[in-house]
Amino acid sequence: MSYRIAAIPGSTKEDSTHLRLLKVIQLDFHDVTFDIYTGISNLPHFNPDHDRDTPHESVRSFREKLRSADAILICTPEYAMGVPGTLKNALDWTVSSAEFYEKPVALITASTVGEKGHRALMETLLIMGSKIAPDAHTIISSIKSRAPGGVPDPAARTTMQKVVRSLIEEIHRRKIAEKKTA
């Protein structure tokens, strides 16, 4: 069975470590389609007045990518001990449309430290109704030395694989449950 995962790098740098980490994950899971979305910096600043039936095209496209995925994987840095502003803005655009609600989500915070940003993002994702399995999130600290050039050391790669496996198991459980209720 093939699954589709929307993957979001939390860094907006063109060739960020986080984008590279997602590409490594993509290589590790051949039976999963990863749709890596690199357009969070193209989303307009969130404004509830503009969140109507016909939102900006970039918002509509982002929401559709999330909606059509079986799950969502976020790989992000921590900025100033918090969630990168552009990533938080992207999440804000999904609150009213509920793309994260009841959706399996995995989070990899890869940063210098990462604990505070990870905790803040976990709280946001949970309040949005995301379903995050116990093993579907991790912090990889000291990322610059652990993933030179965006290639993770063996321990970091194993940790990332464990997170993604947990996410895939959650998707599988949901598909089985859906079949039983259909």
**Amino acid (1-letter code) at residue 78:** E
User: 67: number of CA atoms within 13 Å, CB side?
Assistant: 11
Quick one: CATH architecture of 3-181?
Answer: 3-Layer(aba) Sandwich (3.40)
Q: What's the pLDDT tens digit per position in 70-84?
A: 999 999 999 999 999
Q: What is the pLDDT of residue 1?
A: 66
Helix (H) or strand (E) holding 181: helix 154-181
- Cβ-based neighbour number of residue 100 at 10 Å: 21
Provide the residue ranges of all domains of the chain, joining segments of one domain with +: 3-181
- Across the chain, mean pLDDT equals 96
In the chain, DSSP finds a helix count (H) and a strand count (E) of 6, 5
For the segment 38-46, the average pLDDT, to the nearest whole number, is: 97
Q: What's the pLDDT tens digit per position in 98-151?
A: 999 999 999 999 999 999 999 999 999 999 999 999 999 999 999 999 999 889
pLDDT above 70 as % of the chain? 99
